[in-house]
Chain A
């Protein structure tokens, strides 16, 4: 029975990453509270699983490293050594190495890496010799096995449930005559197990070290495909004893032997009936078993209630398929738009009623697809506590890192992109934002600095904030630096107000750190963050108060694929403006336009807004409109309002954003294109980069 390993590689990688993330989290927890037995147990369990997985997949170096980690962890668990910050550091280093190996496996397929440095450290840390540890392990394990056997069901003839064919019987007879034993084993798999097929494979492999699996229910093929519920049953012929088999199987995590029994050849029945009969009986016995299981569950429900909880059914889907689905829905929405236009032209009641129905269904479909693509931001956030901790250690600062709103959901595409900008902001907060402890004490602030990371929904947007309670941004220093760097002149600096000065932070190549540290200030600065966020159709704003702290506020759209837009016309061209950046629309006459310092402005409820003519911004061909009245779309760029003069407001429309492709990427002011209801291409304006 051979199963190919390569097909499990993806699952292995995915699961390893999950375990790693979990390990990182729990280790942080343990670091905070050194008596947290729960966290320690969890770490141990995850390390153990990782070890099992990697050795099955044949990544020996990884297995070896995790094995040594496990040894240290087991000593910690037994209280033989105390949790100390040194040990936590070493464990963190191990996690980093594991991550490295996993990444290497992902890219090159090879898991070979020399970990002797870490292993020797781990061995030093560990008290006592290896033998002692493993002996102890055995001591713990054996009584557990006995316990398991004690709860076995009363004896019954297992073989009767199986329909053995003539060939099986011959094999069994021969084995028996050679003095080999036949075991019936019922294996139970943890209901939460994600890699059931791999577990089954591991069980087979473990059993075949000692003998041969001659039959299984369900058949091996189905096991290979993971088509089974809580467990499966196998017949093994072996010359080894029961204990050895139990030991082999129990090494595999998430799997345990529920039942093991020696079977005499005499009791093995031959299925003489037709195939159909055999099928039927096995089906019946399947039912019996289920009933039996149910009863057992009921009896022991007192202490096993936790395990009975319904496992949520999930399907892992290739993201590409989701993207395809999204594209198709996008196409559908577009055609719906076309239908609506036809409906409006023909004024057929029946047609319009149907269109209304279609409208509703597509809206539902769209929101469902959208939800499918939503991922909690937790995915990104989870790696931050570890990062902030390392950073704080490196910089010799004490940081209290808090996170809020991890469950906030965002579109997958946004999630993939938002990680790096956040890393940058957090690094900035710890490195530049927070003052050294002595300085904080001098200022009468707690020595431990606080960094907050918050995410929340608001309307069709998600807000992410990175806030520190550090020194705040020194406006004068920023200006001075900008002058030094030649970004602005001295004169310009004098005239600048606070907000404009803060904008300087986002200029390319700006960095205020006095010394270039390893952490931040490597030349790539906030401009990169800003560009990234704007490419996601988002915005970034800064609030800062001297000695109170700084807050970076990022606003992101929930999704990038389908948005509401305002369609406007300038001369013969039609453009879409994302509704998320439109505040309002208004109508003005030529007399309402004033000029301040060469800039056209208008008054809107007491506020002065600069106004720009879209036709001029886009150099639209054709003559200027001679109408006295003109429409103004008030758009919001960062926190400022700007008026955009257009010829006509066409109306609000749902649009499906399409990329302009590699050849035309990065045009300032253009975010993408749509195919309008009439089949023509219209461009989407990007307010953030238009001016």
Chain B
């Protein structure tokens, strides 16, 4: 599955078409990823540390017999973790042949975005490098930063 397809907005969607995104909080900012690339959302599982690897690799978890690497975006992009431990979630993504998860501070909701709501720009102030950003969406008074999760996970 090409997750870019959902976010390649100009080509893939007409004016009124919608995409569904999962919105989540990371530090004080709110981000979103295409729901099609998300396999599932879990509570924090027991994470086993993997030595001798990049700092932002939080470790691996057992997801019904599959070993899934978990990436800590806080460490990766130097974002301060906020909120309750209770609210933290793991979002697991599935690409062609790789699965990986990220830890987020809170999953807000799954929502539909109109193409018109999305500004296709990477010129946005955020903690995450602009390379990894697909665009921003304005929903009511919120700003959602759309992430290029495939790029972040190196898939």
A interface residues, Cβ below 8 angstroms from B: 331, 334, 573, 618-621, 658-664, 667-670, 673, 675, 679-683
Contacts and interface: CB of A to CB of B under 8 A. Distances in A.
6 contacts: A331-B65, A664-B53, A670-B50, A675-B62, A679-B46, A681-B46
A663 B98 CA distance: 8
A673 B67 contact: yes
Nearest to A658: B67
A574 to B, nearest CB: 9
Nearest to A663: B69
Nearest to B154: A663
A682 B61 CA distance: 9
Contacts of A664: 50, 53, 57, 60, 69
A660 B67 contact: yes
B60 A675 contact: no
B56 to A, nearest CB: 11
B48 interface: yes
A681 B65 contact: no
A620 B50 contact: no
Given A661-B67, A682-B48, A683-B60, 20 more contacts: A331-B65, A573-B48, A659-B67, A660-B69, A661-B68, A661-B98, A661-B99, A661-B100, A663-B98, A663-B155, A664-B50, A664-B53, A664-B57, A667-B50, A667-B51, A673-B48, A680-B62, A681-B48, A681-B60, A683-B48
A664 B60 CA distance: 9
A678 to B, nearest CB: 9
Contacts of A675: 62, 65, 67
B10 interface: no
B43 interface: no
A682 B153 CA distance: 23
Nearest to B48: A681
Contacts of A680: 46, 48, 62
Given A659-B67, A661-B67, A663-B69, A679 B52 contact: no
Nearest to A666: B53
A670 to B, nearest CB: 7
Contacts of B49: 573, 621
A660 B50 contact: yes
Contacts of B98: 661-663
A618 B51 contact: yes
Interface residues of B, number: 24
Contacts of A663: 57, 69, 98, 100, 153-155
B155 to A, nearest CB: 8
Contacts of B52: 618-619, 667-670
Contacts of B60: 660, 664, 673, 681, 683
B2 interface: no
Contacts of A683: 48, 50-51, 60
Interface string B88-110: 00000000011110000000000
A264 B52 CA distance: 85
B90 to A, nearest CB: 13
A48 B57 CA distance: 59
B51 A681 contact: no
A673 B63 CA distance: 13
Most chain A CB neighbours (cut-off 10 Å) among B65, B68, B97: B65
A331 B68 CA distance: 16
Interface centre among B50, B59, B67, B100 (most CB of A within 10 A): B67
Nearest to B60: A681
Interface string B47-88: 011111100010111100111110000000000000000000
A681 B155 CA distance: 23
B3 to A, nearest CB: 16
B51 to A, nearest CB: 4
A658 B67 CA distance: 7
Contacts of B50: 660, 664, 667, 670, 683
A370 B53 CA distance: 33
B69 to A, nearest CB: 5
Nearest to A675: B62
A525 to B, nearest CB: 26
Given A660-B60, A661-B98, A680-B46, A667 B65 contact: no
A573 B46 CA distance: 12
Contacts of A679: 46, 62
A619 B53 CA distance: 11
Contact of A681 (B53, B62, B99): B62
A620 B51 contact: yes
A661 B53 CA distance: 13
Nearest to A573: B49
Nearest to B61: A681
A662 B155 CA distance: 9
Nearest to A330: B65
For the complex of A and B, the 7 pairs showing the least CB-CB separation, nearest first, are A618-B51, A681-B48, A675-B62, A663-B69, A673-B67, A681-B62, A681-B60
A334 B64 CA distance: 12
Nearest to A619: B51
B75 to A, nearest CB: 14
Nearest to A682: B48
B62 A661 contact: no
Contacts of A618: 51-52
A670 B51 contact: yes
Nearest to A676: B62
Interface in B11-56: 46, 48-53
